[in-house]
């Protein structure tokens, strides 16, 4: 259990999250993921990073049970800071990041893939922000990078999910493949990128980030302020206490 890094091909690093049963990451998991992505990007031999996960789904967000066990706000603060670091690590990685998504991609998972450079998804993948059902807010910044503005708002307010095929039609998912082909397809795209000159691909990543009209780190931190407000007012705990879906088990 944890985060591991492998090198399946020249210039490609695969960072894999493994937090059974559903990849709902604890505070230390978000920081471990951030550290692994940053380390892979700093390696001068790396030209592309694949972000993947094991188990039933790509990411179920934060570990709600960890928050429930904390009588204070330490876990909430830690999760928010850890998520911010992990999302930023993906966005700021010195080389392109390809997200390989299967099963559910919820909450914090949207923050990761919304900051990735490309997404390859299994045909069973679903994406969504059930934050309002969990007494929290956040990651609309990243969902807005995947779907048009009005669809983002509808998904956010309703906590509905969309499929990989739907995101493919919107152009945010590069390719949809059978589950068994997911990692191979993600590696194929990563290897195509990794065939570029290493210095040039890093300059390209910096240049593209530099012309991005959205400051994803600042905007996400702004959103988190409302999560803290919900927590301090008590509404966050009240809603979270009614949450009992299998994603948190």
Report pLDDT for 14.
98
Structure tokens at 146: 């995947």
What structural domains and CATH numbers belong to the chain? 2-177+214-248 (3.90.226.10)
Structure tokens at 223: 């959103």
**With 0-12 CB in 10 A as exposed, 13-18 as middle and 19+ as buried, what is 247?**
buried
Backbone angles phi, psi at 148, to 5 degrees: -60, 160
Say what the pTM is. 0.94
pLDDT digit string, tens, across residues 235-245: 987 887 776 54
- Segment of 52-66, 166-180, 220-234 carrying the highest mean pLDDT: 166-180
pLDDT digit string, tens, across residues 44-97: 999 999 999 999 999 999 988 887 787 677 888 888 999 999 999 999 999 999
Report pLDDT for 249.
31
Report pLDDT for 67.
77
What is the rounded CA–CA span in Å between residue 132 and residue 238?
Answer: 12
Beta partners for 62?
Answer: 25
Report pLDDT for 88.
98
> Average pLDDT in the 194-201 region?
97
pLDDT digit string, tens, across residues 104-113: 999 999 999 9
Q: What percent of the chain has pLDDT over 70?
A: 97
Report pLDDT for 248.
34
Please say whether the beta carbons of 167 and 113 come within 8 A. Answer: no
Which residue bears the tokens 């530099």? Answer: 210
């Amino acid at each position: 259990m944890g985060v591991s890094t492998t090198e399946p091909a020249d210039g490609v690093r695969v960072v894999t999250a493994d937090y059974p049963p559903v990849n709902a990451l604890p505070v230390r998991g978000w920081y471990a993921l951030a550290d692994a992505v940053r380390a892979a990007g700093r390696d001068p031999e790396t030209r592309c990073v694949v972000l993947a996960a094991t188990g039933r789904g790509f990411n179920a967000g934060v570990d709600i049970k960890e928050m429930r066990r904390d009588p204070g706000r330490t876990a909430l603060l830690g999760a928010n800071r850890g998520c911010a670091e992990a999302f930023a690590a993906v966005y700021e990685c010195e080389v392109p990041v390809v997200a390989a998504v299967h099963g559910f991609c919820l909450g914090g998972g949207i923050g990761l893939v919304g900051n990735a450079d490309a997404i390859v998804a299994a045909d069973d993948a679903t994406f969504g922000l059930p934050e309002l059902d969990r007494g929290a807010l956040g990651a609309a910044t990243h969902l807005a990078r995947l779907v048009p503005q009005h669809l983002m708002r509808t998904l956010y307010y309703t906590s509905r999910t969309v499929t990989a095929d739907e995101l493919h039609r919107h152009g945010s998912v590069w390719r949809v493949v059978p589950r068994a082909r997911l990692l191979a397809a993600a590696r194929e795209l990563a290897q195509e990128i990794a065939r570029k000159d290493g210095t040039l691909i890093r300059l390209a990543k910096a240049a593209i980030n530099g012309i991005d009209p959205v400051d994803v780190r600042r905007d996400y931190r702004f959103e988190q302020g409302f999560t803290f407000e919900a927590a301090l007012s008590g509404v966050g705990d009240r809603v979270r206490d009614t949450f009992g879906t299998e994603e948190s088990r």
